[in-house]
Each structure stands twice: as structure tokens, then as C-alpha cells.
Amino acid sequence: MAAVRLRILYTKILGSLQTMPQDAAYRKYTEQLINQRFNHVKAELDIENLEKKINCGQIEEVIAQAETELALSRKMTEWKPWEPLVEEAPANQWKWPI
């Protein structure tokens, strides 16, 4: 049950990542992470061992993380954060001490 839900979520995330350019860092790292977890889900049938392999809390928490990641990837396609910097800060903005 949980494994089915995770498979659906991971396929959706990977599909959403396809809409981004190939060299976007977000796409690279998230694909790596999601593929890793997807492979664990495919390989391991027992939920307890799956939790240990993924090593990110209980399976319900892993499902919640996947759901938030899916929502995030959809927002990222709108925001396009891989583009170059919008605007540089003025010269002494981040200088400390003044």
C-alpha cells in the first residue's frame, strides 16, 4: 500500500522534473535522490527494511516528503530558479562590520 503510493508519487515527481532543462541543478540532484529512493522501493518489499534503507524516518514521513517534493517541483517549473541572478546587491549591502 505504502509502496504503491510511493511509486506513484516518485513517477509523478520524475515526470514533473522532465519539464525542466537538463542542466538545471535542481533537476540533477532531485532526480538522483528520487531515483535512489525509487530503487530502494522497487528492491525492498518489507516496509521495515525499506524504512531502514531510505533512512529518513517512518514510511508515512517518507510519503509526506515525497508529496511536498512533488508540490515543490511543480512550483519550481513556474519560478525557474536555474536562471542567472535577477539583480546584484548594491556594493556594500552585505558588508559587516559596516
Partner 1 sequence: MAASLVRFVRSGFGRSLNVARQSAAIVQTRTTTTETRPTVRPKDPVTHTQLSEFGEYIAEILPKYVQQVQVTCFNELEVMIHPEGIIPVLTFLKDHTNSQFNNMIDLTAVDVPTRQYRFEIVYNLLSLRYNSRIRVKTYTDELTPLDSSVPVHQAADWYERESNCSFVFYFIFFIKCETLLGVLILLRQVRYDDEVKRVVAEPVELAQEFRKFDLNSPWEAFPAYREPKDAPKLESGDKPAK
The residue from 11, 21, 33, 58 that contacts partner 1 (CB under 8 A) is: 33
- 27: CB partners within 8 A, 6+ apart: 17, 20, 21
Q: What is the largest CA-CA distance in the chain?
A: 58
Instruction: Write the DSSP assignment of 38-59 as a string of letters.
Output: HHHHHH--SHHHHHHHHTSS-H
Binding flag, residue 76, partner 1 (CB under 8 A): yes
| Interface pick for partner 1 out of 39, 57, 58, 60 (rule CB under 8 A) | 57
Name the site residues for partner 1 (rule: CB under 8 A): 25-26, 29-30, 33, 56-57, 65-66, 68-69, 71-72, 75-76, 79-90, 92-94, 97-98
